[in-house]
């Protein structure tokens, strides 16, 4: 009976060890996901900044074109057409910047969720280790009794 008890305790300790290893592996995957999400968020922010800069350049160019409009009619018409093209380009850049901002928000939320999952895995791992330590202590007490 003592041997069966000891064997059962050993099996439980082994099961806890395996569970702990799985939790650690999962935590590592989550950490990698957090890093990836952070990189994606940073890339999204950089793209949004590039779009902002492009939009400002386009607006400056459009303002220049509007000033040139005061020339003769043909020149004015050409300038208007260019200004329209710049306006469309600016609108596209703004729409793209809005999409990028949404992607940044989503990436930040994903990073936060990944961090929360990693913390939950850490907590689970600590509980499993504590349980395994308890089992080991109980087992050594049993063995000491048996001696």
Domains of the chain: 2-146 (1.10.287)
Q: Single out the residue of 139, 143, 145, 141 nearest to residue 11, CA to CA.
A: 139
- pLDDT score at 106: 96
Confidence at 73, pLDDT banded by 50, 70, 90: low
Any idea which of 20-29, 42-51, 73-82 has the lowest mean pLDDT? Answer: 73-82
Res. 70 pLDDT band, cuts 50 70 90 = low
- How far is C-alpha 126 from the geometric centre of its chain's CA atoms? 24
Q: In sequence order, what are the residues at sequence separation of 6 or more whose Cβ sits closer than 8 angstroms to the Cβ of residue 98? A: none
Residue 71 has pLDDT above 80, yes or no: no
Q: How far apart are CA 3 and CA 78, in angstroms?
A: 96
Name the 3-class secondary structure at 108: helix
- How much is the pLDDT for 20? 96
**Per-residue model confidence (pLDDT) at position 72:** 64
Provide the pLDDT for residue 69.
Answer: 62
The model's confidence at residue 99, banded by pLDDT at 50, 70 and 90, is very high
Reported as half-sphere exposure (CB side, CA atoms, 13 A), residue 90 has a value of 15
CA atoms of 51 and 99, how far apart (whole Å): 11
């Amino acid at each position: 009976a003592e041997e069966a008890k000891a064997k059962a305790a050993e099996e439980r300790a082994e099961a806890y060890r395996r569970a702990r290893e799985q939790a650690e592996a999962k935590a590592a995957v989550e950490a990698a996901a957090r890093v990836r999400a952070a990189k994606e968020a940073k890339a999204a922010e950089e793209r949004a900044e590039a779009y902002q800069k492009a939009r400002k350049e386009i607006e400056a160019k459009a303002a220049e074109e509007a000033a040139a409009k005061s020339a003769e009619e043909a020149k004015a018409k050409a300038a208007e057409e260019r200004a329209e093209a710049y306006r469309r380009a600016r609108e596209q850049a703004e729409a793209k910047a809005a999409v990028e901002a949404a992607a940044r928000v989503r990436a930040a939320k994903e990073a936060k969720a990944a961090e929360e999952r990693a913390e939950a895995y850490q907590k689970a791992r600590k509980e499993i280790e504590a349980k395994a330590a308890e089992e080991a202590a109980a087992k050594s007490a049993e063995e000491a009794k048996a001696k």
